[in-house]
Amino acid sequence: MKKEKHEIVAEYVECIATASASTANLGPGYDVFGLGLDVLEDIVSIKIERKTIANKNNVKIIMRGDLGKHIPNDLDSNSAGKVAKKIISDYDLYNYNCLIEIRKNIPPGYGMGSSAASAVATAVSLNAIFGLNIDDTKLLDYSAEGELASAGVKHFDNVAGSFFGNFVIVKTHPKLEFIRIESPNNLSMVICVPLIQVPKMKTEFSRKVIPQQVPLEKMVHNVANACSVVAGFYTKDIEMICNGINDCIIEPARKKLIPGYEKIKERSLEEGAMAFTISGAGPSTVAFLDSSKKLLRISEVMEEEYEKINIKCKTFISKPGSGSKIISLK
């Protein structure tokens, strides 16, 4: 069903928006928990030009930056493209040429919400340009369209963290809902990205290794820990959050895809990390702390352990992020 048609007065409009990296799951919160980060962001510029004849082939994507070279620019294989295609169709915006330029700064395929960030920035930009007044829940839903390009299925944890920032709980049944909770001020993280080859459609691949059935005992374990994470964010209790970042279902299945995972986790915890888990679908990992004092040491430990197995890595020190932003609209 087509929505009300929207028009812009100007012949040419440009919007620039940013959306940051994110980490998802936080241990037991598979497909439910998202956390925005304040490190690394994709920058999306959308240029809209009015045309006299409607044309459904009206969207073009240009990828910028070294990381952008690895991402296809056809609409159905690009997360921003899928979002633009859906919004343009729903709002009958075919009387405009749409040029999307993406400055890719978040490494794709490493569990830091790269596809989600480009999708989110595209959704908020189109909403702003055309004055669509899409509510936050629907914008979240549009953003998740982009995950079809990398995961083969809509999922909302990374897009929620990237869109809203801070800690977000996403419910999808019986309807899509979200709960955003401010993070404790002193919550700090070290994200480690091992520079290993990842398969195409890596997120879809990593979802396939997850068991489809689990014992009731394991489910109870994860539900209890997920409750601890939520209560910790609500009460700003970092120790409670970290005590809940303990997963007996997803982590055991996915850690086999990450070289050296057990040793890096062990060393990080020995050096003062309060919790350690896989970031999203991996292979990035994330260590949680309640201060900045030990962040550099844990970064060094991660690099040391990967060096022992001849793998290069990058580490990023992060706090919870504040969500997507419109930088300019003119």
Separation of alpha carbons 102 and 99, rounded Å: 10
CA-only gyration radius of the chain, Å: 20
Residue from 106, 57, 49, 54 nearest 79 by CA: 106
What separation, in Å, do the N-terminal and C-terminal C-alpha atoms of the chain show?
30
Active site residue 147: yes
- Locate the DSSP E strands across the chain: 12-24, 33-50, 59-64, 96-103, 167-171, 177-181, 188-194, 275-278, 285-289, 313-318, 325-329
Mention every residue, 6+ apart, whose C-beta is less than 8 A from residue 322: 36, 38, 165, 166
Q: Which residues of 191-224 are buried (b: 16+ CB within 10 A; e: fewer)?
A: bbbbeeebeeebbbbbbeeeeeeeeeeeeebbee
Separation of alpha carbons 310 and 42, rounded Å: 29
Longest dimension (CA), the chain: 65
Active site residue 203: yes
The active-site residue, picked from 41, 101, 145, 147, is: 147
Q: Cα dihedral sign for 209, 306, 188, 18?
A: negative
Separation of alpha carbons 55 and 272, rounded Å: 58
The active-site residue, picked from 23, 122, 203, 315, is: 203
Separation of alpha carbons 86 and 155, rounded Å: 16
Give the catalytic positions in this structure.
147, 203
